[in-house]
Structure 1
Amino acid sequence: MTQTVQPTSGTAAANNSAAAAPNGSSAVVNPPALKRRIPKYADLAPLMQFKKPEFSNAARLKRASTIWELRDIAKRRTPQAPFDYTDGAAEAEISLRRARQAFQDIEFRPGILRNVSSIDLSTDILGRAARLPFGIAPTGFTRMMQSEGEYAGSQAAEAAGIPYTLSTMGTASIEDVAAAAPHGRNWFQLYLWTDRERSLELIERAAAAGNDTLMVTVDTAVAGARLRDVRNGMTIPPALTLRTVVDASYRPAWWFNFLTHEPLTFASLSRYTGTVAELINSMFDPTLTFDDLDWLRETWKGKLVVKGIQTVEDAVKVVDHGADGVVVSNHGGRQLDRAPIPLHLLPGVSAAVKERNSGAAVMLDTGIMSGADIVAALALGADFALIGRAYLYGLMAGGRAGVDRTIQILEKDMARTMALLGVTKISELNPEHVRLLQGGRSSQTD
Structure 2
Amino acid sequence: MKFHEVRDLVRLTAPPLDRRARVLAAAWTVEDFRRAARRALPRSVFDHVDGGADEEESLRGNVEAFRRWRFVPNSLVDVSAPDLRTRVLGRPVAAPLGLAPTGYTRMISPLGEPAVAAAAAAAGLPYVLSTMATTSLEDLAAATPTLDRWFQLYVWKDRTLTEQLVRRAEEAGYGVLEVAIDTAVSGHRVRDVRNGLTIPPALTLSSLVDIGTRPGYWTGVLRHDSLTFANVSPGVEGTAGYTIEDITTQFDATVTWDDVARIRELWSGKLVIKGTVGPRDAVRARDLGVDGVHLSNHGGRQLDRTVAPVDLVAPVRAVVGEDFGVLVDSGVRHGADIATAIALGADACFVGRPYLWALAAAGEDGVSRVLQLLLEQFRRTLQLLGVTSIAQLRREGCDLLVHAGSGDTPKP
TM norm. shorter chain > 0.5: yes
> Are 1:443 and 2:408 an aligned pair?
yes
Identify the match of residue 155 of structure 2 among 162, 170, 192: 192
Equivalent position of 2:366 in the other structure: 402
Task: Write the distance in 2 (CA, Å) between the matches of 1:304 and 1:176.
Answer: 22
8 Å CA contact 1:143–1:264 kept in 2: the answer is yes
Match of 2:387 among 405, 409, 423: 423
Residue number among 120, 124, 127 corresponding to 2:90 in the alignment: 127
1:106 and 1:434 in contact (8 A); partners too: yes
Alpha-carbon distance in structure 2 between the residues aligned to 1:52 and 1:401: 21
1:50-65 → structure 2 map (5 Å cutoff): 50-56=12-18, 57-65=20-28
Question: Which residue matches 2:306?
Answer: 339
Matched, 1:390 2:390: no
**CA distance, structure 2, for counterparts of residue 207 and residue 294 of structure 1:** 17
Deviations 1:305-337 (A, max 9, x none): 100033111111111111111011111111111
Q: Which residue identity is paired with 2:13?
A: K
Following superposition, the deviation at residue 52 of structure 1 comes to 2.2
| Equivalent pair of 1:62/1:405 in contact (CA under 8 Å) | no
**CA–CA separation in structure 2 for the residues paired with 1:390 and 1:272:** 34
**DSSP-derived class of the 1:340 partner:** coil
Structure 1 ranges of 4+ moved more than 4 A: none
Contact kept, 8 Å, 1:310 with 1:340, in 2: the verdict is no
Contact 1:120–1:426 under 8 Å retained in 2 = yes
Q: CA deviation at 1:59?
A: 2.6
Aligned residue for 1:248?
211
Counterpart check, 1:205 vs 2:163:
no
Give the distance between the partners of 2:242 and 2:166, measured in 1 at CA.
21
Matched, 1:278 2:246: yes
Task: Give 2:5's aligned residue.
Answer: 43
1:414 to partner: Cα distance: 0.3
Q: Using the alignment, how far apart are the partners of 2:7 and 2:193 within structure 1?
A: 58
CA drift of 1:123 comes to 0.8
Q: Say if 1:309 and 1:315, in contact at 8 Å, map to a contact too.
A: no
TM-superposed CA distance for 1:46, in Å, is: 3.1
What is the root-mean-square deviation in Å for CA atoms of aligned residues?
1.4
Cα distance per residue 1:62-93 (max 9 Å; x no partner)? 32110001000000001111111110000000
Q: Which residue of 1 aligns with 2:282?
A: 315
Check whether the contact 1:309–1:326 (CA below 8 A) recurs between aligned residues. Answer: no
Query: In the alignment, what sits opposite 1:413?
Result: 377
Instruction: Give the Cα–Cα distance (whole angstroms) in 1 for the partners of residues 391 and 25 of structure 2.
Output: 31
**Greater radius of gyration (CA):** 1
CA contact (8 A) 2:33 2:357 kept: yes
Q: Does 1:148 align with 2:111?
A: yes
2:41 is the counterpart of 1:78: yes
Letter in 2 for 1:442: G
Letter in 2 for 1:328: L
Letter in 1 for 2:368: D
For 1:164 and 1:310, the matched residues in 2 are separated by 21
Deviations 1:243-277 (A, max 9, x none): 01111221111111111111100001132434323
Counterpart-to-counterpart distance in 1, 2:261 and 2:269: 14
Call closer, same or farther: CA 1:209–1:274 in 2, change over 3 Å. closer
Task: Quote the Cα distance in structure 2 between the aligned partners of 1:441 and 1:118.
Answer: 34
Residue pair 2:399, 2:409 contacting (<8 A) in 1 also: no
The letter of the residue matching 1:50 is: L
Counterparts in 2 of 1:237 and 1:207: CA distance versus 1, 3 Å: same
Kindly indicate whether the alpha-carbon contact (under 8 Å) linking 2:274 and 2:293 is maintained by their aligned counterparts in 1.
yes
C-alpha distance in 2 between matches for 1:157 and 1:240: 33
Structure 1 CA distance for aligned equivalents of residues 255 and 284 of structure 2: 15
Instruction: Decide which of 67, 71, 94 is 1:104's aligned counterpart.
Output: 67
Note the C-alpha offset of 1:147: 1.0
State whether structure 2 residue 125 is matched by structure 1 residue 162. yes
Alignment of 1:226-305 (within 5 A): 226-269=189-232, 270=236, 271-282=239-250, 284-305=251-272
Contact 2:329 2:349 in 1 (8 A): yes
C-alpha spacing 1:416/1:274, structure 2 compared with 1 (3 Å):
closer
1:380 equivalent in structure 2: 344
- Alignment match, 2:81: 118
**1:194 counterpart letter in structure 2:** K
TM-score by length of 2: 0.95
AA matched with 2:231: S
Is contact 1:329-1:364 (8 Å) kept?
A: yes
Spell out, residue by residue over 1:169-190, the C-alpha distance to the aligned partner (whole angstroms, 9 max, x if none).
0001111111111111111110
Cα distance in 2 for residues equivalent to 1:69 and 1:376: 22
Cα distance in 1, alignment partners of residues 23 and 332 from structure 2: 22
Please state how far the C-alpha of 1:436 moved relative to its aligned partner.
Answer: 2.1
- Which is worse superposed, 192-201 or 107-116? 192-201
3-state secondary structure, aligned to 2:231: coil
**Does the residue aligned with 1:151 lie in a helix, a strand or coil?**
helix
Report how far residue 55 of structure 1 moved: 4.7
Aligned-partner Cα distance in 2 for 1:422–1:239:
52
| Change in 2 beyond 3 A, CA 1:88/1:272 | farther
Residue 402 of structure 2: SS of its match in structure 1? strand
Residues 213 and 305 in structure 1, CA contact (< 8 A), matched pair in contact too: yes
5+ residue gaps, structure 2: none
Task: Indicate the residue corresponding to 1:36 in structure 2.
Answer: none
Name the SS for the 2:12 alignment partner: coil
